[in-house]
């Protein structure tokens, strides 16, 4: 009998050790799967590769989070089979601790990866001192600090890009990009203000390579002898949409006594997310998102990626486009009306855009123009169950905003610069779905400079 008991114990221990090894292997595989999914979904970059397919970002986000949770739960279960975890209470505590640790590691890993590959400020995501510095931060979260718009803390040098491609970015005395600005316009100066989002601000460009900086050089290079000196001020702010732009215009641009106002915008108004807040559950999700997104970078990327990977019907796209176009044109009209009443030249510029999200993908377009791409995307609705992903939907909304802007400009007699047409043969110069390299910035600046000169020859000569 003792021998039988010893044999049974030995067999039990052998089986126990095999189970522990099996659970350890399963745990490692789950962690590996979670890491692979997480690397694929970071910054919804999986959409840059056709290999993953159109549902990739959506599913990878879910798998990444599920993998992290399962890793923690598996670890807690594996540890709970040891003799020192004998009560259910201890098992539950251990499960909670390991699950929290898995989520924490996911968040820390996300911050490290984004800091090394995109911007060093991502490491400080959610911290007050860094909230205004993160390259792709949630700008709207800071709108109350500036009465409906956002600008940077003044007098500092920020750094765009990752450590391997660091671009010093000078923020002046008023919290905008470029050299310091005198609040009062100097005598003999023709002051041009450029409003817009990150394309105006100059993502991926040096201080001298933004289109406002190029515009100032072009205007002064061909100045009339004895004429005024042209001063171009960059009031572009990343993520600024037209509603925030109006507030910035009223609070920041008007006091600077402009002679001309250039607005290069549309993309930030074209972007939209899933419309879930019409239901009670959707409102709860909206509240949770509003609380979590400014604090947790992994959550921010999940929500952003889901919005871009979600499929939209043609009916929903047209409905959103109509709503956004009305707001966009109303805001443009408000700025145009003030300029007209104060004899300030108002120059709207259409904004080049592509559905190919991701740095360096515009080269895939070849000779495809903006309108041709829009036509191709519209045809894709019929060929793909009547739906489009977020980037494709944003392009069609952008197209309708652009058409409304052209129509509005023609009605009001505004000197529109068709930036889309100007850059259509140079779409390979785009660095992302909307940002331009310094060659394209110079091409755009040249077209704007020519338009300004056409509109104000008498004013330039008299100054």
| 74 lies in the same domain as 208 | no
Asked if residue 183 belongs to a domain, the reply is: yes
Asked if residue 251 belongs to a domain, the reply is: yes
Q: What percent of the chain has pLDDT over 70?
A: 63
Q: Token pair 């989520």 is at which residue?
A: 103
The torsion angle over the Cα atoms of residues 358, 360, 362 and 366, rounded to 10 degrees, is -140
Q: Is the per-residue pLDDT at 47 higher than 70?
A: no
Higher-confidence residue of 151 and 242: namely 242
| 395 lies in the same domain as 263 | yes
Asked if residue 296 belongs to a domain, the reply is: no
Q: Is the per-residue pLDDT at 49 higher than 70?
A: no
Asked if residue 13 belongs to a domain, the reply is: yes
| 103 lies in the same domain as 145 | no
Q: Is the per-residue pLDDT at 358 higher than 70?
A: no
Q: What is the CATH number of the domain that holds 231?
A: 3.40.50.1110
- Side-chain-side CA neighbours of 180 within 13 Å: the count stands at 5
| 341 lies in the same domain as 404 | yes
- Side-chain-side CA neighbours of 7 within 13 Å: the count stands at 4
Q: Is the per-residue pLDDT at 215 higher than 90?
A: yes
The residue segments making up the domain with residue 109 are 2-117
Contact 321, 405 (CB under 8 A): no
Q: 3-class DSSP state for residue 45? A: helix
- 117, 148, 165 - which closes a domain: 117
Model pLDDT, residue 52? 39
Model pLDDT, residue 192? 97
Q: What is the pLDDT of residues 305-335, one digit of tens each?
A: 666 666 778 888 888 899 999 999 999 999 9
| 233 lies in the same domain as 266 | yes
Asked if residue 130 belongs to a domain, the reply is: no
| 59 lies in the same domain as 109 | yes
| 446 lies in the same domain as 379 | yes
Asked if residue 66 belongs to a domain, the reply is: yes
Q: Is the per-residue pLDDT at 395 higher than 60?
A: yes
DSSP code string of 56-81? HHHHHHHHHHHHHHHHHHHHHHHHHT
| 340 lies in the same domain as 222 | yes
Q: Is the per-residue pLDDT at 217 higher than 70?
A: yes
Model pLDDT, residue 46? 40
| 27 lies in the same domain as 100 | yes
What does the mean pLDDT of the chain come to?
Answer: 75
Residue 276 CB contacts under 8 Å (≥ 6 apart), including other chains: 282, 285, 286
Number of domains present in the structure of the chain? 2
From 411, 414, 441, 373, select the one nearest 260 (Cα to Cα): 414
- 84, 117, 150 - which closes a domain: 117
Pull the structure tokens for residue 67: 């993998």
Contact 423, 444 (CB under 8 A): yes
- 117, 147, 167 - which closes a domain: 117
Asked if residue 301 belongs to a domain, the reply is: no
| 57 lies in the same domain as 8 | yes
| 203 lies in the same domain as 245 | yes
Q: Is the per-residue pLDDT at 295 higher than 70?
A: yes
| 347 lies in the same domain as 249 | yes
Asked if residue 125 belongs to a domain, the reply is: no
Q: What percent of the chain has pLDDT over 90?
A: 34
Residue 313 CB contacts under 8 Å (≥ 6 apart), including other chains: 386, 387
């Amino acid at each position: 009998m003792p021998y039988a008991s010893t044999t049974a114990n030995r067999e039990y221990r052998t089986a126990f050790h095999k189970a522990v090894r099996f659970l350890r292997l399963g745990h490692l595989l789950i962690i590996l799967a979670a890491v692979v999914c997480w690397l694929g979904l970071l910054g919804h970059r999986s959409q840059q590769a056709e290999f993953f397919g159109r549902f990739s970002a959506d599913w990878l986000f879910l798998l990444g989070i599920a993998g992290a949770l399962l890793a923690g739960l598996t670890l807690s279960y594996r540890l709970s089979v040891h003799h020192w975890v004998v009560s259910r209470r201890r098992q539950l505590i251990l499960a909670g601790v390991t699950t929290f640790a898995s989520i924490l590691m996911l968040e820390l890993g996300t911050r490290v990866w984004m800091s090394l590959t995109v911007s060093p400020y991502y490491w400080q995501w959610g911290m007050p001192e860094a909230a205004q510095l993160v390259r792709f931060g949630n700008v709207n979260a800071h709108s109350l600090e500036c009465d409906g718009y956002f600008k940077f803390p003044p007098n500092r040098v920020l750094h765009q890009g990752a450590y391997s491609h660091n671009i010093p970015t000078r923020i002046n005395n008023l919290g905008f990009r470029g050299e310091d600005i005198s609040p009062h316009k100097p005598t003999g100066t023709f002051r041009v203000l450029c409003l817009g989002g990150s394309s105006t601000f100059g993502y991926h460009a040096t201080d001298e390579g933004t289109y406002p900086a190029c515009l100032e050089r072009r205007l002064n290079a061909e100045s009339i002898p004895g004429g005024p000196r042209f001063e171009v001020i960059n009031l572009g702010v990343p993520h600024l949409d037209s509603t925030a732009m109006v507030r910035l215009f009223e609070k920041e641009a008007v006091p600077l006594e402009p002679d001309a106002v250039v607005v290069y915008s549309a993309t930030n108004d074209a972007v939209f997310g899933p419309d879930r807040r019409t239901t009670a559950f959707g409102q709860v999700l909206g509240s949770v998102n509003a609380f979590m997104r400014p604090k947790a970078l992994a959550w921010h990327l999940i929500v952003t990626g889901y919005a871009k990977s979600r499929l939209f019907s043609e009916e929903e796209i047209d409905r959103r486009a109509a709503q956004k176009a009305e707001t966009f044109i109303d805001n443009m009209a408000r700025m145009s009306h003030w300029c007209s009443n104060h004899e300030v030249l108002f120059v709207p510029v259409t904004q080049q855009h592509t559905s190919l999200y991701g740095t360096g993908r515009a080269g895939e377009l070849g000779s495809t123009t903006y309108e041709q791409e829009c036509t191709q995307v519209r045809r894709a609705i019929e060929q793909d169950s009547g739906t489009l992903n977020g980037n494709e939907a944003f392009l069609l909304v952008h197209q309708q905003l652009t058409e409304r802007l052209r129509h509005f400009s023609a009605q009001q007699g505004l000197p529109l610069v068709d930036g889309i047409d100007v850059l259509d043969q140079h779409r390979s110069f785009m660095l992302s779905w909307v940002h331009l390299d310094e060659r394209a910035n110079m091409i755009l600046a040249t077209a704007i400079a020519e338009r300004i000169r056409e509109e104000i020859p008498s004013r330039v000569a008299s100054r």
